[in-house]
Structure 1
């Protein structure tokens, strides 16, 4: 059976389980599965437009933590996002996950068997039922509107989905559900961004820093304690891996990082070996970054 066909089957079976409202895991246990598009879950999905108060992240005051001298535990893991979540479950804390989103299609190309990070999440969870709600559809409508359609920097619009259930492994096995909050945001499409060459890299970095700052602020406001992040926008969107790694350091781990004390654990789940190695190199170059590596 072709790989693409297998992934399509996983996706369609997941959607069928969401519609049914339950599924049977590999051990024979039945689990309830929420359709986040139903009226009783209307508060689970929130849309944040580009002009939302998230724009104040840089000047906002970090929330008080019990021990604000304690730095965030930074974990670098060569693993998928789904595996990264499983690493954090033992903490029994609120987990926030960044979805590296398509700006135009809910779940990206998961219904057609595409293999990127968003697609893996969409076919392994009930996230899609949140992204197709009228609330979340504002995100896609915004990016398809007029000049926004041609602007490959995309925008700082975001969708926050609470209580998403991750129910399958990357290979498609049905497993006990893990509840997480999912933040949907599109990175700059660096490969298609149209700016004069002399300014393009500087502008891309500036826009990415603002977007990444906003999404961390949103996680902070929503009370997420542990995060699963990654190499945001360095795949099909072709952002430079060292730049993305450096921005995460500046925001989360540097001496004056705004979010240095905002989270308990941040796991960078990076499947590609070379990309993971670049992140490690950037982390090692920064004297103030304490991190550990973890296997799955």
Structure 2
């Protein structure tokens, strides 16, 4: 979930829900029938079907657990990854990368996912990072495939007191064709990793979370690092060179912004980081002035 989810029940949020529901419906129609932008017809069905066929599920015990194994060394390792921390949405960051990436290079996007419901509440007008992606792209049909349903069945059966699992969905060739406000845009393609952050708020309210507060915080951070390491490893294995990340799980899931920033830095940026040479560019798209400032302060320390 994004770090800037509006407070549910406020007048502003409720007033916008009907408009967001309408955008979601239009998006699903466009995936089936296409859309016209500046007099040019864009067909999406074939690309959507191809993405669905190639969607992959990674179980908690998959080989992604080997992420910490150092990448094969060479006499001249690739350059260090370039980083940008921008006060923009995930969709804006992806479009920015599309203007700089070489045509053959993949762009990857991390979906801050609901563990239990494909696309979160986007059909009902909910507003968070996952819902924005689902309203603006061909992602949702891939999350409804039989392959992807393994992910939701697992978490609906056992949410592990808010920790969820390290299971993930990889949706390749997703077409992004709208902006955050529902405006039609020139299509770009991205690969999407769907993974839930630890729901730290739920974990802290659990019996064990209340009895062992310090141990709980340490476990949350440990589980988050493992999950984030697997996310980066999956992008690396898929040959993605440009990635959109963010302040993963610091909104309604209540993870600490500083902790999340430190984990990303330890995986990507600090001396000897496992993924320091794995990608060409990583953009952290972060909305919300305080979150943006706190994240940048920690990451750049």
Normalised TM-score (structure 2): 0.89
Counterpart of 2:121? 109
CA distance in 1, matches of 2:177, 2:73: 32
Contact 2:80 2:277 in 1 (8 A): yes
Partner of 2:59: 49
CA distance 1:35–1:2, shift in 2 (3 Å): farther
Given that 1:227 and 1:267 are in contact with CA atoms closer than 8 Å, whether structure 2 keeps it comes out as: yes
Using the alignment, how far apart are the partners of 1:162 and 1:8 within structure 2? 25
CA distance in 2, matches of 1:85, 1:67: 29
Shift of 1:284: 2.7
Alignment match of 1:128 (pick from 140, 157, 160)? 140
Question: How many angstroms does 1:44 deviate by?
Answer: 1.9
User: What are the ranges of 5 or more consecutive residues in structure 1 without an aligned counterpart?
Assistant: 286-296
Match of 2:11 in 1: none
The alpha-carbon deviation at position 23 of structure 1 amounts to 1.1
Aligned counterparts, 1:1-296, within 5 A: 2-20=15-33, 22-25=34-37, 27-34=38-45, 38=49, 41-62=51-72, 68=77, 70-90=79-99, 91-92=101-102, 93-145=105-157, 148-193=158-203, 194=206, 195=209, 196-285=212-301
Rounded Cα–Cα distance in structure 1 between residues aligned with 2:124 and 2:73: 42
Equivalent residue of 1:261, what SS? coil
Partner SS for 2:176: strand
Deviations 1:186-243 (A, max 9, x none): 0000000133213111000000000000010000000000000000000110000000
Contact 1:62 1:262 in 2 (8 A): no
Query: Shift in Å at residue 125 of structure 1?
Result: 0.4
Gaps of 5+ in 2: 1-13
CA shift, 1:180, in A, is 0.4
Judging changes above 3 Å, is the alpha-carbon distance between structure 1 residues 62 and 30 closer, same or farther for their aligned structure 2 residues?
farther
The question of whether the paired residues in 2 share the 8 Å contact of 1:35 and 1:129 is answered with no
Report the alpha carbon displacement of residue 61 of structure 1 after superposing the two structures with TM.
2.3
Q: 8 Å contact 2:169–2:193 — kept in the other structure?
A: yes
Alpha carbon RMSD of aligned pairs, Å?
A: 1.7
Q: Which has the higher helix share?
A: 2
Task: Give distance in 2, aligned partners of 1:197 and 1:280.
Answer: 27
Please give the secondary structure, in 2, of the residue aligned with 1:2.
helix
CA contact (8 A) 1:136 1:159 kept: yes
1:118-173 Cα shifts (integer Å, max 9, x gaps): 0000000010000000000100001011xx23521000000000000001011111
Q: 1:41 to 1:179 in 2, by over 3 A?
A: closer
CA distance in structure 2 between the partners assigned to 1:34 and 1:136 by the alignment = 19
1:232-277: per-residue Cα shift (whole Å, max 9, x none)? Answer: 0001100000000000000000101000000000000001111110
Q: How many residues align?
A: 279
Counterpart-to-counterpart distance in 1, 2:51 and 2:187: 17
The CA deviation at 1:175 is: 1.0
CA contact (8 A) 1:79 1:271 kept: yes
